[in-house]
């Protein structure tokens, strides 16, 4: 029986994992949305991605995760030094990338607990692009998880996120309030312990207390082993989760990058000074 974490994380890493995006262009239904994105997020760093509605933030998140609807027409996305654009979303998740969706979908008939259990097992199976043969689609062998171990892990995470026991016995996202959906996403993140987490508007729809709890949860997970890309419209969540770097996206490109104070400046001044009045209205 394998007991080391090295077995769960193929190819023990000595360097921090990096997500490197170069000149990324992507289209959806024939329309070019991403028009040359350059971005590097290193494990241990927190980056905030801001920008007007429709500028391409969620599209970028979906492309990084491998949503099949988006077609990459140019550029590259590397994770841990490997080109991940050819990999399925499932394999990217096994490598340690996690996306908390802006609009999580319901999974009727699957409880939160069962969903999380399978997700954690898949993550532990891992995926090593250097060791696996893409042509045969082979992935590492399935590793089950003893119920007692799962129980212990989920109880620990539920405590951190102040999630009630009854919550995990409900069907995933079915009839969940906006805030409950976001909490379920963060619980999933806590269980998976990704090395790169992308949070797409995790703060929207959260009441003040829930925002604090969720932010504290994210902060409890932050550290040298996790990179975070947090997509948000509001400075508010960045008061809790202080970013190292803040980017503004506009029309499918990152047009400006600054430090954590940059978010405060944006909150005060809006986007117009950066993108011009007509452009601001257009979006
Ligand atoms: N599946 C899709 N089908 C058609 N158009 C899409 C699709 N996904 C994104 N788009 C279009 O791409 C553009 C960028 O959308 P995206 O959701 O990435 O913006 P965003 O920056 O996340 O905006 P918001 O701040 O409102 O969440 C929009 O014009 C949107 O209509
Ligand atoms: Mg969006």
* Ligand number, closest to the Cα atom of 247: 1
Give the Å distance between the CA of 84 and the centre of ligand 1.
Answer: 22
Helices (H), the chain: 5-8, 57-65, 89-95, 112-125, 147-160, 178-192, 208-221, 235-240, 261-269, 272-275, 277-282
Round to whole Å and give the CA distance between 75 and 226: 24
Radius of gyration of the chain (CA): 19
Ligand 1 atom closest to the CA of 52, numbered from 1: 25
pLDDT digits (tens, 9 = 90+) for 4-42: 444 445 555 568 889 999 999 999 999 999 999 999 999
Q: Which residue owns the Cα nearest ligand 1 atom 31?
A: 54
CATH number of 16-282: 3.40.50.300
Of 197, 187, 198, the closest CA to residue 162 belongs to 187
- The β-bridge relationship of strands 196-200 and 97-100 is parallel
Nearest CA residue ID for atom 1, ligand 1: 28
30 ligand 1 Cβ < 6 A? no
Count other C-beta atoms under 10 Å from residue 21's C-beta.
20
Distance 23 CA to ligand 1 centre (A): 19
**Cα(173)–Cα(193) distance, integer angstroms:** 21
- Give the contacts of 169 (CB within 8 A, at least 6 positions apart): 111, 112, 113
Q: What is the pLDDT of residue 3?
A: 41
In the prediction, which pLDDT does 12 show?
55
Conformation bin of residue 221: beta by default, left when phi > 0, alpha when psi is -120 to 50: alpha
pTM score: 0.89
Query: Which CA distances in Å does 173 have to 34, 49, 147, 154, 182?
Result: 29, 26, 23, 18, 9
Name, of 16-25, 121-130, 213-222, 273-282, the range with top average pLDDT.
Answer: 16-25
Alpha helices in 126-228 (DSSP H): 147-160, 178-192, 208-221
**Is residue 58 in contact with ligand 1, taking CB distance under 6 Å?**
yes
The domain segmentation of the chain, as residue ranges, is: 16-282
CA of 250 to the centre of ligand 1 (A): 12
Tens digit of each residue's pLDDT (9 = 90 or more) over 47-97: 999 999 999 999 999 999 999 999 999 999 999 999 999 999 999 999 999
């Amino acid at each position: 029986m394998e007991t080391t974490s090295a077995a769960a994380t193929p190819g023990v890493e000595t360097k921090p994992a990096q997500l490197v995006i170069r000149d990324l262009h992507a289209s959806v239904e024939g329309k070019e949305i991403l028009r040359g994105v350059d971005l590097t997020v290193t494990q241990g760093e927190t980056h905030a991605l801001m920008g007007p509605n429709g500028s391409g933030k969620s599209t970028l998140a979906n492309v990084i995760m491998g949503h099949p609807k988006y077609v990459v027409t140019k550029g590259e996305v590397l994770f841990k030094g490997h080109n991940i654009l050819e990999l399925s979303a499932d394999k990217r998740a096994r490598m340690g990338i996690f996306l908390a969706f802006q609009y999580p979908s319901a999974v009727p008939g699957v409880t939160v607990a069962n969903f999380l259990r399978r997700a954690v097992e898949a993550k532990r199976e891992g995926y090593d692009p250097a060791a696996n043969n893409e042509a045969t689609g082979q992935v590492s062998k399935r590793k089950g998880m003893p119920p007692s171990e799962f129980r212990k892990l989920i109880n620990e995470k539920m405590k951190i996120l102040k999630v009630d026991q009854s919550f995990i016995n409900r069907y995933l996202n079915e009839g969940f309030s906006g805030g409950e959906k976001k909490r379920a996403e963060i619980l999933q993140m806590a269980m998976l312990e990704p090395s790169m987490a992308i949070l797409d508007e995790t703060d929207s729809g959260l009441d003040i207390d829930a925002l604090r709890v969720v932010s504290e949860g994210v902060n409890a997970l932050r550290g040298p082993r996790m990179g975070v890309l947090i997509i948000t419209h509001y400075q508010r969540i960045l008061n809790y989760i202080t970013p190292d770097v803040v980017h503004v996206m506009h029309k499918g490109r990152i047009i400006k990058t600054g430090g954590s104070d940059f978010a405060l400046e944006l909150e005060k001044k809006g986007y117009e000074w950066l993108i011009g009045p007509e452009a601001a209205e257009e979006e």
